[in-house]
C-alpha cells in the first residue's frame, strides 16, 4: 500500500513565475503537492505558451482569490506581424502570410485605437466553457461556436521595441482581456495580419513579477522554506481600506454577529484586524452603522 503524506491546513499566497509549457492548473497542482496543501486555487488562467506571474492561493487565502482574478493585469507581449494562425498564437497552424509594410509610427497609431473600453470576441482556442466543455475542445474538433462580444478595458499599450515584423508591447488591462485577440486585431487594422508570438504576465493587482519565484526554485527548497515564502491572505485585498476592532467587537464578529466600532467607518468592503494586528477577514458597514461580517477567516491562528 502506497504511503500518502498527510495534507496540511496551510494558508497564504504563493507568487509563482509560471514556466513555459505548463498550464495554470498543472503549475497549481505541482505547487500544491510540494506544499502538501489541503486546499488551493489559482487566480486567472495563463496559457501554456505564456509565462510569468501566477498568484496561487492556499487554505484560507482561497476565500479572497476572486479579488485577484478580477484585478487589472499587466503583460509584455510579442506581436508577430504578417502571419495569422488558427489559434492566434505561435502554437497554431498558419492561415495566411502577407508582406509587412508597417513602420513604428503606424504600429503605435494602430495600438492607440484599442485604448479604453472596447468590445472583444473571445477566441475559439480558449478555456471558456460552452455546455460544460471548453471552447478549445470544440475548436480542435473543427466546430465553430458563436461567442458573444464582451466589454473589456485596455488601460495602456506601451511600445517597448519595434523591429521589422516583430513588436514588443506592454499592456495594462482589465480582467477577461485576451492578448491573442488584441494582437490579431492590431494586425487587422494594419492590413497585414498578426499573431501573438510570446506573452509574459508581469503584474496582477499589487503583485509584481519581481516578487515571484520559479517553480524550479520552489521545488529545490526545503519544505519548511516553502511554507515561509507564502504571503499572508490579506495581501490579496490590500486595495481595500482597513480598520482595527477592539477585543469585544472581535469576539462577537467571529461569532458571525454584526458589531459596533467607534470612529469613521469607510464605505464598502473593509479589511478587519484585531488589536494584535491579526487579519480577521472582510466586513461591511450596515445602514444602522454596525459592521457585518462578509468573509471571515475560520481561525486567525491558522492563517499567516
CATH of the domain at 245: 2.30.130.10
**What is the pLDDT, as a whole number, of residue 146?**
74
Which range is least confidently modeled, 69-78, 115-124, 246-255? 115-124
Of 152, 183, 204, at which residue does a domain stop? 204
Q: Is residue 49 in a domain?
A: yes
C-alpha cell at 203: 503584474
So what's the pLDDT on residue 148?
80
Q: Do 33 and 89 share a structural domain?
A: no
- 130-153 mean pLDDT: 77
Which of 204, 215, 226, 225 shows the shortest CA–CA distance to 65?
204
**Contact between 155 and 174 (Cβ < 8 Å):** yes
- Whether 56 and 117 map to the same domain: the answer is no
Same domain, 97 and 167: yes
Of the two residues 147 and 230, the one the predictor is more confident about is 230
Q: Which single residue is written with the C-alpha cell 505547487?
A: 31
If one compares 161 and 42, the residue with the highest pLDDT of the two is 161
- Domain count within the chain: 3
Do residues 79 and 198 both lie within one domain?
A: yes
Structural domain that includes position 263: 240-296
C-alpha cell at 1: 500500500
Does residue 4 lie in a domain region?
no
In the block, residue with C-alpha cell 509594410: 101
| pLDDT attached to residue 189 | 97
Structure confidence at residue 142 (pLDDT): 72
Band (pLDDT 50/70/90 cuts) for residue 297 is: very high
Residue 35's pLDDT band, with cuts at 50, 70 and 90, is very high
Q: Give the active site residues.
A: 47
Residues 285 and 167 in one domain: no
For residues 227-247, average pLDDT: 95
Same domain, 181 and 211: no
3 versus 150: which is more confidently predicted?
150
Would 277 be classed as within a structural domain? yes
- Here the contacts of 3-9 (C-beta below 8 Å, separation 24 or greater) are 5/36, 6/36, 7/36, 7/37, 7/38, 8/35, 8/36, 8/37, 8/38, 9/38, 9/39, 9/59, 9/302
Q: What is the mean pLDDT of residues 19-34?
A: 94
* Between residues 164 and 78, the one the model is more confident about: 78
Count CB-CB contacts under 10 A for residue 156: 13
Give yes or no for a contact between 257 and 263, defined as CB atoms under 8 angstroms apart: no
Q: Residue 2: what pLDDT?
A: 47
> Residue 25 contacts by C-beta under 8 Å, 6 or more apart in sequence?
42
What is the tens place of the pLDDT at every residue in 187-232?
A: 999 999 999 999 999 999 999 999 999 999 999 999 999 999 999 9
Instruction: Give the per-residue pLDDT at 304.
Output: 43
Q: State pLDDT tens for residues 87-138.
A: 999 989 999 999 999 999 999 999 999 999 999 988 766 667 766 777 677 7
Please give the grid coordinates belonging to residue 261: 466600532
> What mean pLDDT value characterizes the chain?
91
**Residue among 172, 226, 169, 218 at smallest CA distance from 17:** 218
| Model pLDDT, residue 121 | 85
Q: What would you report as the CA-atom Rg of the chain, rounded to the nearest whole angstrom?
A: 22
Q: What is the CATH number of the domain that holds 213?
A: 3.30.2350.10
pLDDT on residue 82: 97
Distance CA 65, CA 112 (A): 32
Question: Is residue 2 in some structural domain?
Answer: no
Q: Do 78 and 200 fall into the same domain?
A: yes
Are 56 and 109 in a shared domain?
Answer: no
Domain termination site, one of 186, 215, 236? 236
What mean pLDDT is predicted for residues 262-284?
Answer: 93
Amino acid at each position: 500500500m502506497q504511503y500518502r503524506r498527510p495534507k496540511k491546513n496551510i494558508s497564504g499566497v504563493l507568487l509563482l513565475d509560471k514556466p513555459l509549457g505548463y498550464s495554470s492548473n498543472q503549475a497549481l497542482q505541482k505547487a500544491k503537492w510540494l506544499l502538501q496543501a489541503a486546499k488551493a486555487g489559482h487566480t486567472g488562467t495563463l496559457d501554456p505558451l505564456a509565462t510569468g506571474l501566477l498568484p496561487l492561493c492556499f487554505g484560507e487565502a482561497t476565500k479572497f482569490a476572486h479579488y485577484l482574478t478580477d484585478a487589472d493585469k499587466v503583460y509584455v507581449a510579442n506581436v508577430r506581424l504578417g502571419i495569422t494562425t488558427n489559434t492566434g498564437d505561435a502554437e497554431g497552424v498558419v492561415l495566411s502570410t502577407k508582406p509587412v509594410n508597417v513602420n513604428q509610427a503606424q504600429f503605435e497609431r494602430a495600438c492607440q485605437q484599442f485604448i479604453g473600453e472596447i468590445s472583444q470576441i473571445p477566441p475559439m482556442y480558449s478555456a471558456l466553457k460552452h455546455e460544460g466543455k471548453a471552447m478549445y475542445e470544440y475548436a480542435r474538433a473543427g466546430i465553430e461556436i458563436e461567442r458573444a462580444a464582451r466589454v473589456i478595458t485596455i488601460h495602456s499599450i506601451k511600445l517597448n521595441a519595434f523591429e521589422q515584423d516583430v513588436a514588443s508591447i506592454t499592456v495594462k488591462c482589465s480582467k477577461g482581456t485576451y492578448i491573442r485577440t488584441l494582437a490579431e486585431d492590431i494586425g487587422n487594422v494594419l492590413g497585414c495580419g498578426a499573431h501573438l508570438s510570446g506573452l509574459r504576465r508581469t503584474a496582477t493587482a499589487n503583485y509584481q513579477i519581481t516578487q515571484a519565484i520559479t517553480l524550479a526554485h520552489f521545488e529545490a527548497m526545503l519544505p519548511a522554506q516553502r511554507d515561509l515564502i507564502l504571503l499572508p491572505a490579506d495581501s490579496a485585498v490590500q486595495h481595500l481600506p482597513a480598520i482595527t476592532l477592539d477585543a469585544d467587537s472581535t469576539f462577537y464578529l467571529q461569532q458571525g454577529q454584526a458589531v459596533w466600532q467607534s470612529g469613521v467607518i469607510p464605505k464598502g468592503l473593509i479589511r478587519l484586524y484585531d488589536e494584535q494586528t491579526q487579519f480577521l477577514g472582510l466586513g461591511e458597514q450596515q445602514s444602522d452603522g454596525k459592521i457585518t461580517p462578509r468573509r471571515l477567516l475560520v481561525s486567525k491562528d491558522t492563517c499567516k
